[in-house]
A = this chain, B = another copy of it.
Amino acid sequence: MPPVYDDPEFFEGYRRLARSQEGLAGAAEWPAMRALLSDLPGLRVVDLGCGYGWFCRWAREQGASGVLGIDVSEKMLAEARARTADTGIDYRREDLEHLELPEAAFDLAYSSLALHYVEDLAGVFRSVQGALAAGGRFVFSIEHPIYMAALHPEWVIGANGQRSWPVDGYLVEGPRTTNWLAPGVVKQHRTIGSTVELLLAAGFTLTHLVEWGPTDEQIVMRPGLAEDRERPMFLLVAARRI
């Protein structure tokens, strides 16, 4: 995973996002992610792609016994450390492509919108499986493959006047290069099927699969979210280590 988050232009754009400024409350899909998380008191938690550490601090507030936040970006980790005054949270620089975690050391693994940058997703799933205690939970979100597949991921108007989201190359997995926040950001496109199959093969049971969309209330507050009903932007997954 190239540390795109260390690219100055990308980092500056990221810094301005609602989810960076406001934390979890600034992420529209957070309430749905929250619903996938069990009670946290006493849990040992690892956050893969922790960014500014919003989730790490929230998990401790919820009673997690300890949290390890991992990110590949030194800038992100510096921000996270500057915002954290809690010895129960550790931050560590690590590349998700070569993740090394202690055995059976966690009860919950969490990752928000980071795993779609990873080429070796099977490797991450294996690492997380080994790092979780038996019965441990894994909850993550990625960009939805419908959102990511197309060569030109921008709304199109059909001959009939209907506005729709283009899907092409859906079953052609591999890198997708976009200009989100900075030019040339590379994401890894995978079908939902592939993500689920990799998860099952790594020794997980699937417990939830959510193609996220906004609630009516969210659309009233932020009308722009309505387009996330037309084509999903996020995929939320919950699994349990067998």
Q: Which residues of A contact B (CB under 8 A)?
A: 146, 150-152, 154, 156, 158-160, 162-172, 191-194, 196-197, 200, 205-211, 213, 228-232, 235
Contact = CB atoms under 8 A, between A and B. Distances in A.
B206 A172 contact: no
Contacts of A170: 146, 165, 211, 229-232
A191 B144 CA distance: 12
Nearest to A171: B213
Contacts of A146: 146, 167, 170
* Residue from A158, A165, A191, A228 with most neighbouring chain B CB atoms (10 Å): A158
Contacts of A191: 211, 232
Contact of A229 (B152, B171, B235): B171
A55 B183 CA distance: 51
A162 B166 contact: yes
A30 to B, nearest CB: 17
A171 B211 contact: yes
Contact of A167 (B160, B193, B200, B231): B231
A210 to B, nearest CB: 5
